[in-house]
Amino acid sequence: MRHILLTAFLALVALPLRAENIALVLENSDYRTLPDPSGTRLADQAQGVLARAGFDIVTARDLQTGDLRAELAALEARLADGDVTRLVIVAAGWFVASESGAWFLGLDAEEPGLGSVDGAGLRLDTVMELASSASGAAHIWLVAPNPRALNDELGFGLRAGLPERLAVPRQVAVICGDLRATLAGLDAVLTPGTTLSEALAENSGLRADGMVPTLVPFLPEGFAPVAQADRDAWQSARAADTEAAYRDYLAQFPNGLSAQEARLRIEALRNTPERIEADLLLSRDERRAIQRDLTTLGFNTRGIDGLFGPGTRGAIRGWQGRSDLDETGYLTRDQIFQLAGQAARRAAEIEAEERARREAAERADRAYWDGTGAGADEAGLRAYLGRYPDGIFAALARERLAELEAQARLQTDRDAWRRADARDTARAYRRYLSEFPEGRFAPEARLRLAALDPTTDEPAPDTPPVAVLEQEEALLMTPALRRLVERRLSNLGYDPGPVDGRFDDQTRAAVRQAQAQFGLPVNGYVRQGLLDAMLQDALRGLFR
């Protein structure tokens, strides 16, 4: 199984894939048929040491021989593809040696002999030669368990463990030891400014072959890639200044140099006015309500549409300033409640002011109505409507004015008719009809005109004029009066039919005969002139 752990220097800061320092950690412990190599489980601890030094780490555990070769091929590709300044290879598991070489066994190794060992593990001389292709120093750390547990499992020509000496290529150092000594030495040599010789001098459990410098440290003095990566990541987070950027930084460096400041910035960003308002998840209707409240308080939001644009933001800032709040242009939940309360109070005040204004206007309206005579005459009515066209009494004033105007028109009509009737000439009736073609007495005027001037162009009405009937009814309001008229017509020698107070066609014919006798307009309807003529005739009969 293969496990890959990218160091904080690379994976957490997103540096280029071609790292300067790389490490390969191989740990085999779960062999199929060979004994358990106790004291070789170092991968996790080695990863921590290498990660602190800023290495790009590949960790591979419990691999068969083919997988070990695949890891070596991948390392070869990395070396060929980039400028590897420093290389560290750590291998823990069973090692076997012969007079001419040494091998690191895969999990599938089963009693390997000299003839089969090349198929059962990696040749160490191949690993060392590959390490020598790094552009800088290369360390190979080998952790070999006690060989006694393995010797009985090996075939011809092999022995467990590592050879006394290894033929190590230029600028490569091979360090051998047990687990504890290896981890201590690896930690020492990865301390900036420490040479391999100094690390070996402090740890007697290690031996080294190859290049063991006494003056040049493996990592230079002041080398701190993780710290620099921390600073670079922090600068990137500060440049973005977003919650996501600071969270990315903390994911890379939870205990970084600026971790506390990153947490404070996240808290600050979460508490920005914009974020606080956004977290309220205001609906469109709620935003409209806020705009209405601002408008009620006298702040122009430039529309009540539920969209908080520059107009609304400016109105919010204006309200915040008047309320001694920070003028952010964004609202908190408490501010929304405060705004709603102020708007409700102001709305009540406006309603009270409007009610008082209406009451004052109504009092003035009523006073003016009373002052102009309460609609008693036309002048007063017109004065009231001029001042209060939509006032309390406007409808009544218009109704009374219309009645007065109708009465005036009717009176003018009556006056013109009286003049025409008094003259009783075709010319007088024509003049009346020219002034009042649709007048109340127009039908009667046409009847009389037709009687006086048969050549007239004025058409006579087919039905009795309404005015004629109304005049007759006004004169003869009771059946008794009608019966008196019928008796008088009979006395004059005309046959009105039964004396019953009902004027039928026979009665109308008698009326027309009487009208003709007295030289009155002939229409068959009783008028004051006919009554007067019949009364005078009756009086003359008394004195004959």
Asked whether the beta carbons of 311 and 303 are under 8 A apart, the reply is yes
If asked whether residues 438 and 379 sit together in one domain, one would say yes
If asked whether residues 453 and 496 sit together in one domain, one would say no
**Residue 63 within any structural domain of the chain:** yes
If asked whether residues 131 and 46 sit together in one domain, one would say yes
Asked whether the beta carbons of 62 and 28 are under 8 A apart, the reply is yes
Question: What are φ and ψ of residue 442, in 5° steps?
Answer: -60, -45
Among 463, 481, 512, residue at a domain's last position? 463
Burial category of 543 from C-beta neighbours within 10 Å (exposed 0-12, middle 13-18, buried 19 and up): exposed
Provide the domain limits for residue 449: 372-463
If asked whether residues 45 and 141 sit together in one domain, one would say yes
What's the structural domain count of the chain?
A: 5
**Residue 362 within any structural domain of the chain:** no
Arithmetic mean of pLDDT, 490-496: 88
pLDDT at res. 26: 94
Q: What is the distance between the alpha carbons of residues 500 and 336, in angstroms, rounded to a whole number?
A: 90
If asked whether residues 390 and 292 sit together in one domain, one would say no
pLDDT in tens, 329-342: 999 999 999 999 99
**Residue 382 within any structural domain of the chain:** yes
Helices (H) and strands (E) in the chain, counts: 21, 11
pLDDT in tens, 69-78: 999 999 998 8
pLDDT of residue 418 exceeding 60, the answer is: yes
**Residue 278 within any structural domain of the chain:** no
Kindly give, in sequence order, each residue whose CB lies less than 8 Å from that of residue 456, ignoring residues fewer than 6 positions away.
Answer: 426, 430, 449, 450
Arithmetic mean of pLDDT, 381-410: 87
Arithmetic mean of pLDDT, 76-95: 88
**Residue 244 within any structural domain of the chain:** yes
Q: What is the distance between the alpha carbons of residues 396 and 399, in angstroms, rounded to a whole number?
A: 5
**Residue 260 within any structural domain of the chain:** yes
pTM of the model: 0.46
pLDDT in tens, 202-212: 998 999 999 88
If asked whether residues 487 and 474 sit together in one domain, one would say yes
Q: What are the C-alpha distances in Å from 446 to residues 7, 89, 430, 513, 517?
A: 122, 135, 8, 20, 21
pLDDT of residue 275 exceeding 90, the answer is: no
pLDDT at res. 128: 93
H or E segment and range at residue 4: strand 2-5
pLDDT at res. 404: 85
The CATH number given to whatever domain includes residue 520 is 1.10.101
The CATH number given to whatever domain includes residue 172 is 3.40.50.1460
If asked whether residues 376 and 423 sit together in one domain, one would say yes
pLDDT at res. 331: 93
**Residue 251 within any structural domain of the chain:** yes
Residue among 266, 264, 268, 279 nearest 331 (CA) = 279
pLDDT at res. 8: 34
pLDDT of residue 352 exceeding 70, the answer is: yes
If asked whether residues 452 and 476 sit together in one domain, one would say no
Q: What is the distance between the alpha carbons of residues 426 and 49, in angstroms, rounded to a whole number?
A: 137
If asked whether residues 261 and 403 sit together in one domain, one would say no
pLDDT at res. 464: 59
If asked whether residues 36 and 19 sit together in one domain, one would say yes
Among 414, 429, 463, residue at a domain's last position? 463
pLDDT in tens, 128-183: 999 998 888 899 999 988 888 888 888 899 998 899 888 899 889 999 998 899 99
Average pLDDT, the chain: 85
Arithmetic mean of pLDDT, 374-385: 86
If asked whether residues 458 and 418 sit together in one domain, one would say yes
Among 463, 492, 515, residue at a domain's last position? 463
**Residue 355 within any structural domain of the chain:** no
Arithmetic mean of pLDDT, 275-301: 92
Query: Coil, helix or strand for 509?
Result: helix
If asked whether residues 185 and 56 sit together in one domain, one would say yes
